[in-house]
Structure 1
């Protein structure tokens, strides 16, 4: 922003808007969400609210937007927006042409959200291998097995003294394991662990579950919280582990589930909300659906992972949605 932050210190990163009231409201909003104000700061904020009726109006707009359902999934992709180099400030000016489509407060908040980076230093410090959003990487492991990391994924590995242990920290990975009956190959997720001798399978961490998909061979899946709970998978089966339960083996179309290895993503009669959730995993910006009633729409299609904007545009055209693109990789469906 073109002024000082509410505490009088220049912020590290800045955004500017034609309307200074919107700028000030966003500064206060970001500051107050960061920590509870002391008595002096609260008094300063209260005085700012009383100074002009528009102050309270714009601040309430930001609170409403932040709490709306449309932003429920947005935080998953915020880490993809990189910070500017140290000592430099990024200035984003919202084009006046958007004013008729979105409120000024909504536009500036969306851009600000999309350019904040969630803390990733700990993950980067822990990981032996990782991929950025929208990227994939094939790694030859020390035992001769192959690992393919999907988008925004991270793992640690331990192959010392005959061990073949992998820990999936985030995202999704596919393993083509070299057979070695004397040395089990283990992959641990957040809630479950897979043990194999030689096979091909994937492990994916979602918000509250791990999903294991078996392409060939045989694997044993156990729950980390209670290893007595385990299930054996046959090809074209999957299991889901959570903090409290381990599912039975269920059938799955592995070609569709693992199409990401060929750079594709496939949907068949999937609700729009689920389709957008999947596309968000590969999109470095933010995808928002502003009307939750649209979630009932069913989507079928086969899309390229290297053109997520094109996939969203195709879906929008097919179901009659308006697609709006904003700076910072933000896509809005209405």
Structure 2
């Protein structure tokens, strides 16, 4: 099957106005990330030879890649792909690399496009690093003692900013999930602000998880008040074993929650009871950096029960696939395909 350009994630990022150049940029980054993938190279050659415009576009971006300034970009490409080595790899076209003493306008424009493409994709992560006081990588957890003696545990791919100046006890959850075991202090409320919610406590233990379109607050013990910054007068009070979901428009009804299941990640586990395969896979996928692709849509509705360790998410995904009657194919870079 002929491929016009490498597959991209749902967050497409920078798109070049010229379709051939946009595809060429995508191929450049893909080949840098997986230089030894023969199947990928075959697909690339089929795309390049399918149209003269494709060949010209890739020749231009390959030449731009040889600019000395591209060393920095090569590092970013490798970092995004999860590679340790940051060396820039030349892209051979029709027998080798070409050198020019004077760079053409087209080549310089392509170099600018490469820089923009990488910067656009890196911008959210860079902004998170600049804002965060603490941040965890995918698959990692971290326990932090806060200045007031409270305990905070960050889950996978999470980030927070702290404000404990002038007697304040405030945490901003910038992404991911965090658990808080708060030291009681009636005179100084402890607040956690996420994308769609704000939680205020005097002393208690609870978790907050923020997603692209909602936050979830789970109370283990004590008492918390949850509000929405967009409507401060709207408030929900939680008791132990309860949770609430906040969106841009509303707070949900309070739900009963099995905290041993909801907070199993604190013990390095994830527990599911009668959940659709698709939901379970999405949850475990939070701890697995490379993409997991489900090639059989039937799998998504299979109901799953299980208790999986998170220290080896690939093994958990393979166990999950076995329980659902699926096979697993592992591609270079750790990409898993489930059929």
TM-score (norm 2): 0.71
Q: Quick one: distance in 1 between partners of 2:235 and 2:252?
A: 9
Is 1:22 the counterpart of 2:43 in the alignment? yes
Task: Give per-residue Cα distances to partners, 1:209-266, cap 9 Å, x unaligned.
Answer: 0000000000000011111111000000001100011112110000100000000100
2:195 aligned to which of 186, 190, 197:
190
Secondary structure of the residue that 1:170 maps to in structure 2? strand
- Offset of 1:24 from its aligned partner? 4.7
Size of the aligned set, in residue pairs, is 264
Where in structure 1 do 4 or more consecutive aligned residues deviate above 3 Å?
A: 5-13, 15-21, 24-28, 45-51, 78-81, 83-87, 116-119
Are 1:157 and 2:162 matched, yes or no? yes
Aligned to 2:5: none
Deviations 1:258-315, CA, capped at 9 Å, x for gaps: 0000001000000001001001101121111112222110000000001211111112
Question: Does 1:123 find its partner at 2:144?
Answer: no
Give the TM-score, by structure 1 length.
0.72
Q: Does 1:230 align with 2:235?
A: yes
Structure 2: gaps of 5 or more residues: 1-19, 57-77, 92-119
The equivalent of 2:69 in structure 1 is: none
Q: Greater RCO between the two (CA within 8 Å, min separation 6)?
A: 1
Q: CA deviation at 1:124?
A: 0.7
Name structure 1 gaps, 5 residues minimum: 29-44, 52-77, 92-115
Cα pair 2:276 2:303 within 8 Å, conserved: yes
1:85-117 CA-to-partner distances (Å, cap 9, x unmatched) read: 5543399xxxxxxxxxxxxxxxxxxxxxxxx97
CA distance in 2, matches of 1:320, 1:24: 36
Give yes or no for contact 2:162–2:170 (8 Å, CA) kept in 1: yes
Give yes or no for the alignment of 1:263 onto 2:268. Answer: yes
- In the alignment, structure 1 residue 288 sits paired with structure 2 residue 293: yes
Q: Give 1:47 shift.
A: 3.8
Query: Residue 333 of structure 2: SS of its match in structure 1?
Result: coil
Name the structure 2 match of 1:111: none
Aligned to 1:215: 220
CA distance in 2, matches of 1:227, 1:132: 33
Check if 1:169 corresponds to 2:190.
Answer: no
Partner residue in 1 for 2:331: 326
Find the aligned partners of 1:50 and 1:130 in 2 and give their Cα distance.
Answer: 42
- Do the aligned partners of residues 185 and 90 (structure 1) sit closer, same or farther apart at CA in structure 2, a change above 3 Å counting? farther
Say if 2:141 and 2:154, in contact at 8 Å, map to a contact too.
yes
Q: Aligned residue for 1:278?
A: 283
Equivalent residue number for residue 66 of structure 1: none
CA contact (8 A) 1:178 1:198 kept: yes
The alignment's C-alpha RMSD in Å is 3.1
Q: In structure 1, what is the equivalent of residue 60 of structure 2?
A: none
CA–CA separation in structure 2 for the residues paired with 1:250 and 1:320: 32
2: CA distance between counterparts of 1:299 and 1:226? 38
CA 152–79 in structure 1, closer or farther in 2 if over 3 Å, else same: farther
Q: Do structure 1's residue 247 and structure 2's residue 268 form an aligned pair?
A: no
Q: Name the counterpart of 1:206.
A: 211
Residue 81 (structure 1) shift: 3.5
Q: Deviations over 1:117-150 (max 9, x none)?
A: 7541111111000100000000000000000000
Judge conservation of contact 2:139–2:289 (CA < 8 Å) in 1: yes
What is the rounded CA distance, in whole Å, between the counterparts of 2:290 and 2:244 in structure 1?
31
- Partners of 1:224 and 1:27 lie apart in 2 by 51
Residues 132, 26 of structure 1: alpha-carbon distance in 2 compared, 3 angstrom cutoff: farther
